[in-house]
Amino acid sequence: MLKPTEIILKLASEKDSITTAEITQKLGNISRQAASRHLRNLVKQGLLVKRGRTIGSHYILAKKAALLPSDQVKTRLLRQNLEEHKTFTTLRDQAPFIRELKDNVNSILFYAFSEMLNNAIEHSQSKWVNVEINRDTTNLRFIISDFGIGVFRNVMRTRHLKSELEAIQDLLKGKTTTAPHSHSGEGIFFTSKVADIFTLDSFGYRLRVDNLINDVFIEKPKSINRGTRVEFTIALNSNRHLNDVFSRFVVDPTEPGFNKTEIKVRLFVVGNVYISRSQARRILSGLEKYESVIFDFDKVTTVGQAFADEIFRVFKNSHSKIYLEAINMTEPVKFMVERAQEISRTTV
């Protein structure tokens, strides 16, 4: 004789979806509460996937759920005259699963998708833009691809930088834009912070921000993506909220504005040698826009005296109102930083 869970899974394999009412009827002498309990347990085990809420909820065999067309919507669009909010509304109407998302995840999706599509519309110069939103049993993701000039190359040329690597470094600081009169430069920065995993792939360079392990990677993939490809992933059950992320980069919560940033020092030098003033100046470029800067020395084993002096004495003395903080320092790094700070205090 089959167990209740076996009967439920058999029914789910025979139908596109099943409801609590159908299970109650199928099992016979069982309450609706008991049927719901069996269904919840199968969802926890990853054997079923729940869709919808309250009265409209139904259950799908996990193996089928990943293949359902309703869990994916994608299209190719002409970039000219494209509007990001109208595009999102159209995709949402085509994909009911977007309406089923938790409110906080829905807000994050709308913000991040709109920001990244707007970048493609206004900066890529591509004729076409490909957009896709999909979900599996655990994650929601969107992909936006264009075939234009490339995000890193565009920043590099506009800001007269030496390489795509320097462009990536500037994007990680925030407030980097190729159109300062119409953009604040916050879109990529904040989108990378609200994702679980965020990747930006363009002409042989890939920026990958993994907030699940709080790390950032700059990679050179084997296959070259011509144009720009953005991929954004967040867990369906994420508890992240937009306002919480924004507030991390504000010095005074009572005053609006993006005035705080964090710099991962190891991403600014090829190799592992942090010695010269010129290296420090490269890191400091653009940081005068902020009121507070945190320098994260994670995975940096040592720094030179000139490097530390340029940041924690020269820059600090020139910008006395900017708060500088160093975190995750090894003892050699801490020695050099504190030495520069002490000299700064005694020479002011």
Q: Are residues 96 and 182 in the same domain?
A: yes
Structure confidence at residue 183 (pLDDT): 46
Q: What's the mean pLDDT in 13-23?
A: 85
Domain that holds residue 284: 251-347
122 exposure class (CB count in 10 Å sphere: 0-12, 13-18, 19+) = middle
Give the whole-angstrom CA distance, residue 182 versus residue 246. 20
Q: Are residues 49 and 184 in the same domain?
A: no
* Count of structural domains, the chain: 3
Residue 330: what are its φ and ψ, rounded to 5°? -75, 170
Q: What's the mean pLDDT in 293-300?
A: 93
Tell me, what CATH number does 49's domain have? 1.10.10.10
DSSP helix/strand/coil, 246: helix
Q: How confident is the model at residue 210 (pLDDT cuts 50, 70, 90)?
A: very high
Structure confidence at residue 31 (pLDDT): 87
Residue 264: what are its φ and ψ, rounded to 5°? -90, 105
Q: What's the mean pLDDT in 154-169?
A: 92
Tell me, what CATH number does 238's domain have? 3.30.565.10
Rounded to 5°, the CA angle 150-235-136 comes to 85
Q: Are residues 225 and 290 in the same domain?
A: no
Structure confidence at residue 178 (pLDDT): 52
pLDDT in tens, 250-272: 877 666 677 899 999 999 876 66
180 exposure class (CB count in 10 Å sphere: 0-12, 13-18, 19+) = exposed
Structure confidence at residue 174 (pLDDT): 82
DSSP helix/strand/coil, 269: coil
Q: Are residues 163 and 312 in the same domain?
A: no
DSSP helix/strand/coil, 132: strand
Q: Are residues 84 and 219 in the same domain?
A: yes
**What residue has token string 């998708």?**
113
Structure confidence at residue 72 (pLDDT): 83
pLDDT exceeds 80 at position 10: yes
pLDDT exceeds 50 at position 181: no
Q: Are residues 188 and 226 in the same domain?
A: yes
Name the maximum alpha-carbon separation found in the chain: 86
pLDDT exceeds 60 at position 180: no
Indicate the range of 58-72, 127-141, 145-159, 287-301 predicted with least confidence: 58-72
CB atoms within 10 A of CB 316: 19
pLDDT exceeds 80 at position 126: yes
Residue that is last in its domain, among 217, 243, 269: 243
Structure confidence at residue 53 (pLDDT): 57
- To the question of pTM greater than 0.75 for the whole model, the response is no
pLDDT exceeds 60 at position 182: no
